[in-house]
Every structure is written in structure tokens, then in C-alpha cells.
Amino acid sequence: MIGADMSNHKPCIGVFDSGVGGLTVLKALLEVIPGADYLYFGDTARLPYGSKSAETVTKYAVGACEYLHSHGTDLLVIACNTATALALPKIERVVGVGVVGVIEPGAQSASGASQNRKVVVIGTDATISSHAYLRALKSRGVEAREKACPLLVPLVEEGWIAHPVTEQVARIYLDEAFAGEFESADVLVLGCTHYPLLKPILRRVAPAQVKIVDSAESTARAVAQQIRLGPKLSGAESVNEERGRGSSHIRFFATDSVQKFRSLGERFLGRKIEDVQHVDLKE
């Protein structure tokens, strides 16, 4: 938990992801907490994390978070679902600031939104194999079905966000996920940071009764609570208006091509990306 003195200075929030998908979390944070400063680290040279062992994911994630912490972050956000599922306890032990992952906030929002206590979670193979969402929802009395959707990430990164092929693939996945005893499930959790870009498609192909829970938005609200900015920061009010501290300054770090990060990342963030620094983390 961030200390009370957080209210006495402009917070600096570090956001870590294995690539550019976590920029959807940063985008949500900017809407909820627009007056904070941000550092974003994308480990683009070593993605995907989903095909790596838990030990490797933990080593990479801890190194990146230590790098962010060394640059003065007050709080760390683990935007990567895989890193949250596999490395969060170790990250919490080795860094000296508060850490928020994406899974618990997403599960909390899903639990609050579900009337019949049946939820479908979609994500990458690694996130689904970890069963982190299943455990988080079960602890809240919610029954969950997890569905891996491995084709969706490459389709998003290809830019096929509104493509008929993407819609057909999503329809096949969701038809399978909402079959049988989960036909009546009333919440769909987006358990991957790429998936918010597919919300219009997912809304069309999901059953009509289903509410969509975006873990990026849930995480941003959890961070706002962590740093004690108050419940009224729902996007309508800004830290600038409340505290007069000016707009956010954002710095980006990438372990692979800066140009590739910038061009692909702007699609996720929805704004121009400046101030990208290449980082070479030693193994």
C-alpha cells in the first residue's frame, strides 16, 4: 500500500508488460489518473512470455520491474497477464513499492458484475494454463470457464481489428466458451491486454446477456484506490483539475526496436508515442 505521503507529491507509476499490449492498461490509467507521471517498460526483445517457463518469466519480469523501480516509480503495475499469473509474488518481494497486477482487479470486477455467478475468461495459452483467473474467481464464489484464444493476439498485432476473419475466429472461440453449462454465463473477462482493441467484435459475437469486463479498466481503478486519489476519479475529473499539477509526462522503454514499438504501440495507446528509450537488460 502506498503511504499517506503519496497525497503530497505527483505520483510516478511504472507499467510493465512483455510487449505493447500493456499500453491498453496505460491508456486506461491515463483516463483515470491523468495527472500522474508514467514510465512504461515493454520487454519486446524477449516476447512472447507465454511460451517460456515460469522461472524464465519471473526472471525477466523481476529484472524489468527493478529497472522501473530504479527510475523512481511510486507504484508498479504489472500489465502482463502472464507475468501477473507467474511472477507477481516474487516481484512483490523484491521491489520496495506497491505492486498491482491485472488479474485480481479483473476478477473483482467480474464478481461484482455477475448475477448468476458464472463467468467466461478468455486469454492466451499461458494465462489460461496458469488458472490464475479461475482461482481468483473461485475465491469470490464465482464459477469460471477459461478459454485460450491464441489466434487473437497475432490478428490484433497484424492490425486486423475490424477484419471479418478476426470476427469469425472470435465467434468460434466464444461459441465454444459459452456452450453447455456456461451458455447462461453473464460476464466475459478480457484476460489479455490485446483484447480491449477487439471489444466491438466481441460485443457482437458474445451472447446478448453478457457484460464485458476489461481488466485494463479494472486495474486502473484499483491503482487509483491504491494511491488514494479517491473514488470520484472515474475519468470525468482529473488530477490536474483537482491538484493543478499539470499533465502527465510519459517515458517509454523497449528492449527491441524503438521504431517498431512506436508504430505498433500507437495503435494500442491511441495517441502519439514520444520519448522511447532502448534498454538492453542483461540476462
Residue type (1 letter), 113 = A
Q: Does pTM surpass 0.85?
A: yes
pLDDT grade, residue 283 (50/70/90)?
low
Question: What dotted CATH number matches 4-101+217-278?
Answer: 3.40.50.1860
Residue from 12, 65, 80, 149 carrying the catalytic annotation: 80
Inform me whether the pLDDT recorded for 230 exceeds 80. no
What confidence tens digit (pLDDT) does each residue in 109-154 have? 999 999 999 999 999 998 999 999 999 999 999 999 999 999 999 9
- The HSE-up count of residue 40 (CA atoms within 13 Å, CB side) is 32
For the chain, the structural domain boundaries read 4-101+217-278, 104-215
192 has catalytic annotation: yes
Percent of the chain with pLDDT over 70: 90
Q: Determine contact, residues 114/140, Cβ cutoff 8 Å.
A: no
Identify residue 255 by its one-letter amino acid code.
T
As to burial, measured by CB atoms within 10 angstroms (0-12 exposed, 13-18 middle, 19+ buried), residue 183 is exposed
Task: Determine whether 80 is an active site residue.
Answer: yes
Q: Find the catalytic residue in 12, 65, 149, 192.
A: 192
Banded model confidence at residue 228, pLDDT cuts 50, 70, 90: low
| Percentage of the chain exceeding pLDDT 90 | 81
Q: Write out the CATH class of domain 104-215.
A: alpha beta
Q: CB within 8 A of 202, min separation 6: which ones?
A: 170, 174, 188, 190, 195, 212
d(CA 91, CA 58) in angstroms, rounded, equals: 8
Strand partners, 33: none
Stretch 16-36: mean pLDDT, rounded?
95
Residue 237, helix vs strand vs coil? coil
